C-alpha cells in the first residue's frame, strides 16, 4: 500500500509540479505549435525551473493559440495564416529550426529532429556556425533510468543480444487523420516510435548499428504502420531486433477492447538479463528487472540521479530542460546529447526505410 501511495504522490507531482519563484532575467521560451505534447514537454517543466518562463505560443489557428495560452497562463498567443501549424510536423522541424537559429535563438526541437540525415546535418551545422545551442528532445536520454540500465548491463558483462516490441493500440494513441501518417509531413510509425529503441540500444552498446534486414506493413503506399528490423551493433556484431507497431490489435474476438502499450526492452548479457519496462515514458512509471545467472532476480526503479540532481517526481522532460538551460548558460550539463548522436540516430532510421524498400522522408525544400 505504501508503494502505491508513493506512486500516486509522485505521479501527481510530476503532472502538477510546484511553481518556483523565477530568478532575475530568466530564459524566455516561445513554443511553436500548440501540440498535445507541449504541456508535458515544456510548459509544466518550465513552471518548476527558476530560470525558465514560457512567454508565447504560436499556432495556425488564433483560437487554438488563445485557448492554449489561457489554459496554461502564457502571456502571448500568435495565430492565423502568418503563424505556425497547429501541430508542428516533422517536415517543418528543419525550416523553423533554421529560422529560429537565424534569428539568434537557441532551439529545443522535438524528436525526430528532421525528416532524414541530410536535413539533420544541415541544422546542426548552422547551429554551430551561429554558436547557438540546438538539442533534439529525445527526453529518455536524460532520465536516470537509462543510466541505471546501462550500469546494470555493464555489471552483467558484455551484451550479447537486445530486443524490443514497441507497440500501441492505434484507436487510443493516434487520431484517424494524425500527422504521423502523412508522408509529406514526415510521417511513419518508425519516425515517431523508432527513436526510442534505436537510441536506447545505441547508448547501451556505445556503438552504431548496421541494418541487416527490415520488413514493413504499410498503412498507405509510403507510410509504415509496423516495421520489424534486424540489426547488429559494434565490432562484435551484437544482434538486435526492433519492432515498431502503431496498430496493435485490441483484445477480444473483434479486437474492440483496449490494449495497453507493449514496451519492454530486453538486454541479454553474458551473466544475465535486464528487462526495462516503459522505456518510452519512464517518469510515469517503469521497472528494471534483473535476472542474473547466479543468484535471485530483483526489480528496481530509478527516478532520481545518483549524484543527487533532480527529484523523484521530475519528469524526463524536466531533466532534459535542466540540461538545456545549463548548456545555454554556459554550464556543463550532467547529461548531454550531441549533434553526432542525433545525426547517427537519423542515419539509422534512413537505413531501415531503405532496407524496407520505402523512400526516405522528404528533404526540406526550405532555403534560408
Enumerate residues 6+ apart whose C-beta is below 8 A from 154.
none
Q: How far is CA 66 from CA 42, 71, 170, in A?
A: 17, 9, 30
Q: 3-state SS of the chain: helix, strand, coil percent to 5? A: 35, 25, 40
Cell of 65: 493559440
In contact, 336 and 133? CB cutoff 8 Å: no
Q: What is the CA radius of gyration of the chain?
A: 20
Would you call 270 a catalytic residue per the annotation? no
CA distance 261 to 65: 31
Max Cα-Cα span within the chain: 64
Q: Where are the beta strands (DSSP E) in the chain?
A: 27-32, 52-58, 76-78, 107-110, 134-137, 159-167, 209-218, 224-233, 238-245, 264-269, 272-277, 287-292, 298-300
Q: 44, 111, 150, 355: which one is catalytic?
A: 111
User: For residue 229, what are the β-bridge partners?
Assistant: 214, 242
- Residues 5, 7, 11, CA angle at the centre, nearest 5°? 120
Enumerate residues 6+ apart whose C-beta is below 8 A from 302.
144, 145, 147, 148, 288
Catalytic residues: 111
Amino acid at each position: 500500500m505504501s508503494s502505491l501511495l508513493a506512486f500516486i504522490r509522485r505521479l501527481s507531482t510530476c503532472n502538477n509540479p510546484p511553481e518556483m519563484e523565477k530568478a532575475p532575467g530568466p530564459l524566455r521560451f516561445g513554443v511553436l505549435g500548440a501540440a498535445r505534447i507541449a504541456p508535458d514537454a515544456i510548459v509544466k517543466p518550465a513552471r518548476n525551473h527558476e530560470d525558465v518562463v514560457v512567454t508565447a505560443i504560436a499556432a495556425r489557428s488564433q483560437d487554438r493559440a488563445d485557448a492554449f495560452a489561457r489554459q496554461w497562463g502564457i502571456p502571448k498567443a500568435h495565430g492565423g495564416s502568418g503563424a505556425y501549424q497547429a501541430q508542428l510536423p516533422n517536415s517543418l522541424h528543419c525550416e523553423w529550426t533554421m529560422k529560429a537559429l537565424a534569428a539568434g535563438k537557441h532551439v529545443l526541437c522535438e524528436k525526430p529532429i528532421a525528416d532524414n540525415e541530410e536535413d539533420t546535418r544541415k541544422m546542426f551545422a548552422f547551429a554551430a556556425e551561429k554558436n547557438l545551442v540546438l538539442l533534439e528532445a529525445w527526453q529518455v536520454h536524460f532520465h536516470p533510468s537509462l543510466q541505471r540500465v546501462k550500469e546494470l548491463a555493464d555489471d552483467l558483462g558484455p551484451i550479447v543480444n537486445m530486443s524490443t516490441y514497441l507497440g500501441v493500440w492505434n484507436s487510443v494513441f493516434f487520431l484517424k487523420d494524425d500527422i504521423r501518417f502523412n508522408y509529406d509531413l514526415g510521417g511513419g510509425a518508425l519516425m515517431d516510435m523508432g527513436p526510442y529503441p534505436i537510441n536506447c540500444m545505441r547508448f547501451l552498446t556505445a556503438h552504431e548499428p548496421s541494418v541487416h534486414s527490415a520488413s514493413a506493413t504499410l498503412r498507405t503506399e509510403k507510410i509504415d504502420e509496423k516495421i520489424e528490423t534486424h540489426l547488429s551493433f559494434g565490432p562484435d556484431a551484437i544482434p538486435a531486433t526492433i519492432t515498431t507497431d502503431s496498430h496493435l490489435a485490441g483484445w477480444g474476438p473483434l479486437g474492440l477492447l483496449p490494449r495497453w502499450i507493449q514496451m519492454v526492452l530486453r538486454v541479454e548479457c553474458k551473466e544475465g538479463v535486464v528487462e526495462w519496462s516503459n522505456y518510452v515514458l519512464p517518469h510515469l512509471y517503469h521497472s528494471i528487472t534483473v535476472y542474473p545467472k547466479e543468484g535471485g532476480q530483483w526489480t528496481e526503479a530509478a527516478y532520481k540521479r545518483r549524484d543527487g540532481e533532480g527529484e523523484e517526481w521530475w519528469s524526463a522532460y524536466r531533466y532534459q530542460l535542466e540540461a538545456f538551460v545549463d548548456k545555454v548558460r554556459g554550464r556543463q550539463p550532467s547529461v548531454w546529447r550531441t549533434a553526432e548522436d542525433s545525426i547517427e540516430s537519423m542515419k539509422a532510421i534512413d537505413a531501415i526505410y531503405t532496407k524496407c524498400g520505402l523512400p526516405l522522408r522528404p528533404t526540406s525544400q526550405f532555403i534560408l
